[in-house]
Every structure is written in structure tokens, then in C-alpha cells.
Structure 1
Amino acid sequence: MRLLIVTTFTLLATMAHAQQLSRQQLMEIRTVCEADLRKLCAGVQPGGGRLAQCLQQNASSISQPCKEKLAAVRAARS
């Protein structure tokens, strides 16, 4: 569980740095996509964009709420 939390925050920090997401956006993504990260990217070493890449590679398997949240954040940044 602790590793999942660290992994999630690492992903979010990487995304925040790359995209300058707000703290609110990060928390929303973490809340909505946590189960997807746990299910699809459990064996992925955090850092270097590997978790974001994992989500991209598994895009067809990501839950609809997570897809919608990521799309909404992307749209808000445009």
C-alpha cells in the first residue's frame, strides 16, 4: 500500500512538472485513477515517466472515469 501511494505521488509529480498541473487537478487524478495504476501498472518502477507511459500503453484498459478525468485535465490545459 505504501509503495502504491509513493508510486501515485511520483506519477503525479512527474505529470505536474511536465504539465504544470494544479494541486487540485493532481488530487483529482490521483483519486480517480488510483485503481487503474494499481491494476495496470503494479510492477512498473516509478520515475522517468514510466508510470505515465504504462497508462498510455494500457489506454484501452483504463477505466472510463480515469479516461474522462485525464481528458478533462488535458482540455483545461489547452
Structure 2
Amino acid sequence: MRRSMSLLLIAIFAGVTSAQALPGNQIPNDVKERCKADYAKLCNGVMPGGGRILACFQAHIDEVSPDCRDALSKMKN
């Protein structure tokens, strides 16, 4: 179980790192929608741009909802 969680976190971090390489650090609309509540709860006040929102999600990954984690992990594809 612990190994599975570690692998999931590695996959999510890899996806987030890849997403930070997107032009203009644009987060796809479907990810914004699925992570809206997480942003309001965990990263409210974080200024968008420069990968700051994605970094905030990384910093709070244990608190990010499963739906948002799934959306973030799919950004790498």
C-alpha cells in the first residue's frame, strides 16, 4: 500500500513538472474545473503564473482531492 502511494505521488509530480513546461504555464480547463475546490481550500491567495499554483498543489499533495490528483496526473499525457 505504501509503495503504491509512493508510485502515485511520483507519477503526479512527474505530471506536474511536465505541466509546468506548458507554454505560458497554462493549466487545461478540465484540470481547473476538477481542482477548483482544492485551489480555493489549499492555494487561495497564490498568484497564478510561473508555476506557482502547481507548486502549491505539490506542497499540499497529501490534502489534494483524489479527483484533482487524477486530473493533475493526466496533464503529463
Q: TM-score range by the shorter chain?
A: 0.5 to 0.7
Name the amino acid aligned to 1:48: G
Unaligned runs of 5+ in 1: 1-14
Unaligned runs of 5+ in 2: 1-18
| Closer/same/farther in 2, CA of residues 57 and 64 from structure 1, 3 Å limit | same
CA deviation after TM superposition for structure 1 residue 44, in Å: 1.7
Deviations 1:45-73 (A, max 9, x none): 23322211111100110000000111122
1:46 and 2:39 matched: no
Q: State TM-score, norm by structure 2.
A: 0.61
Q: State TM-score, norm by structure 1.
A: 0.60
Match of 1:18 in 2: 21
Q: Please state which structure has a larger fraction of its residues in helix.
A: 1
Identity of aligned residues (%): 33
CA RMSD, 1 decimal:
2.3
CA deviation after TM superposition for structure 1 residue 30, in Å: 0.9
Deviations 1:13-41 (A, max 9, x none): xx5x7225xx9x71110110011111100
Provide the secondary structure at the position in 1 that maps to 2:21. Answer: helix
Match of 1:73 in 2: 75
Q: Considering Cα pairs closer than 8 Å and 6+ residues apart, tell me whether 1 or 2 has the greater RCO.
A: 2
| Segments ≥4 residues shifted beyond 6 Å | none
How many residue pairs match? The answer is 57
Match of 2:11 in 1: none
